[in-house]
Amino acid sequence: MTTKEPETKSGEMIADKIDIIDVDCHIQEPVDIWTSRVSKKWGKRVPHVRAHPESGKPVWFINEEPNAPVAGLPMAGWKE
């Protein structure tokens, strides 16, 4: 079974008439969002990015624990 995109009365495709804004997107903050804004007194407890000791790949660390890989999501502020 195939489905056809609904048309308006004038024959235009509905998707061509509606602007869609996706509000369920997930983005990743710039890697310096915390280290550039939070007092140095918090040290490495602040979320930061560094190389994972085993893989060597950049990873988010929080309170000295690896948390999530970098670039698994679109980066905030990315122009493309």
Number of domains in the chain: 1
The one-digit pLDDT tens for each residue of the chain (80 residues) are: 555 655 556 666 766 777 776 676 777 778 888 999 999 999 889 999 999 999 999 999 999 999 888 876 665 665 55
Say what the pTM is.
0.57
Q: Do the domain assignments include residue 9?
A: no
Reported as type and span, the H/E element at residue 8 is: none
Domain housing 43? 26-80
Q: Do the domain assignments include residue 52?
A: yes
Q: Do the domain assignments include residue 78?
A: yes
> What pLDDT is attached to residue 76?
61
Q: Do the domain assignments include residue 12?
A: no
Q: Do the domain assignments include residue 64?
A: yes
Q: Do the domain assignments include residue 15?
A: no
* Residue of 34, 33, 28, 25 whose CA lies nearest to 71: 28
Q: Do the domain assignments include residue 51?
A: yes
For residue 49, the one-letter residue type is: V
